[in-house]
Amino acid sequence: MNQSGGHELGPTVGMIGAGQLAQMSVAPATALGIRFKVLANNLEEPAALVVADTTIGSKDDPQTVLAFAQSCDVVTFDHELLTPAVMEVLKNCGKPVYPSPQAVIYAQDKLAMRQALTDLGIPCPRWSQVDSETDASIFAQEVGYPFILKTSRGGYDGKGVWFVNSESEISAVFANELPPGSHWLAEEKVNFTRELAAQVARSPSDQCVAYPVVQTTQRNGICSQVIAPAPDLDPQIAVLAQEIALRIARELDVVGMLAVELFDTGDGVLVNELAMRAHNSGHWSIEGATTSQFENHLRAVLDLPLGSPRAIATWSVMGNILGGDVPNLYSAYRHVFARDQELHVHLYGKVVKPGRKVGHVTAIGSDLTDLCNRVDHAVSYFTGEINE
């Protein structure tokens, strides 16, 4: 199945999307000696900057996607934003596509996901599809205020999620336009003690590995910090979260990485949402685990034996760098590296815009407080919040 025409390289994995997740897949693809190509919107996208075999074209154009897929041995994604027409083309492209369009639907559409998980008996917040303001108000009377309204599709980083504090706020939320194919999803507001994520990798041969369950902290709906493993997590809850993720991967036939975002309620977990690709909650694994999420995603879609997901340090702490006041992030390197020789920095090569994820830092070791302080310092320096 190798299309490399006699070269020594392994098969070609093609990734649709060229953001930072595709960019961070390059290092393990290189180490594995496989061919890696991306479909990018333009040459400025993070992966397009570094992948020699970049196709420029629209991920929304079925013919472009079909031609790209046919030039690969295996097709995968760095996002789930695929139009129905593109999904249809991929179903019939004659190449393995992982995760399959049939599975991806549960990462694209929060209503489809809620229904599937509820059918499987997997614990979720109380939820309902609401097609009118009256429906939303009836749901709110059942679960109480505040409650949550979400668009079933098209949301990311907290966009498409509204906290509704009173009946009078419902109409303002409904005034927002629904993305194509979307409906309104209402959920009870969970009084969680913290947010967790459970990541697993699964191959077509049904080999699965589960990463340590991590704690994620969101600021304004965007992940700001991840600690692996989640501190003080009851081992039984950790195993429960891993079992939930493994079960979802098998039942929904996910191949590749699956991230299950969870709410820790103190005595159990509820599923928030799913991502079927490498995920921000797993960036720590690049330096903190025996096999990173990016390598295991590639191994999984190639149906190779998976690598160990085990943590190599007591703690890993990852902090996201969101665009701030410093337009030239490189200028921060001298100070950050001089201060901390053990810090790992990833900058994605994106234009800095306020609030945009432009990079992350990771520190691993045995003193959690020290790691958190060092990561916080570096993030604050990169964003210009501090200058020393």
- Toward ligand ADP, which CB reaches closer, 197 or 378? 197
Q: Does 161 bind ligand ADP (CB under 6 A)?
A: yes
Contact range with ligand ADP by CB under 6 A, out of 47-55, 151-159, 200-208, 235-243: 151-159
Yes or no: say if 299 and 306 are a contact pair by the CB < 8 Å rule: yes
Q: Does 218 bind ligand ADP (CB under 6 A)?
A: yes
Of the candidate residues 21, 97, 148, 244, the single one contacting ligand ADP (CB under 6 A): 148
Q: Does 272 bind ligand ADP (CB under 6 A)?
A: yes
Give the CB-side neighbour count of residue 60, counting CA atoms within 13 A. 3
Look at residues 375, 156, 196 and name the one whose alpha carbon lies nearest to residue 287. Answer: 375
Q: Does 273 bind ligand ADP (CB under 6 A)?
A: yes
- Toward ligand ADP, which CB reaches closer, 38 or 259? 259
Contact range with ligand ADP by CB under 6 A, out of 25-33, 65-73, 132-140, 155-163: 155-163
Of the candidate residues 190, 304, 345, 372, the single one contacting ligand ADP (CB under 6 A): 190
CB of 298 to ligand ADP, least distance (A): 25
Q: Does 125 bind ligand ADP (CB under 6 A)?
A: yes
- Toward ligand ADP, which CB reaches closer, 151 or 242? 151
- Toward ligand ADP, which CB reaches closer, 134 or 217? 217
**CB contact set of 93 (below 8 Å; sequence gap of 6+):** 66, 69, 70, 75
CA–CA distance, 382 with 285 (Å, rounded to integer): 22
Between helices 20-32 and 293-301, what is the axis angle to 10°?
70
Q: Does 333 bind ligand ADP (CB under 6 A)?
A: no
Look at residues 116, 153, 127 and name the one whose alpha carbon lies nearest to residue 247. Answer: 116
User: What is the DSSP code string of 151-205?
Assistant: ESSS-BTTBTEEEE-SGGGHHHHHTSPPPTT--EEEEE----SEEEEEEEEE-TT
Contacting residues toward ligand ADP, per CB under 6 A: 125, 148, 150, 155-161, 187, 189-190, 195, 218, 221, 261, 272-273
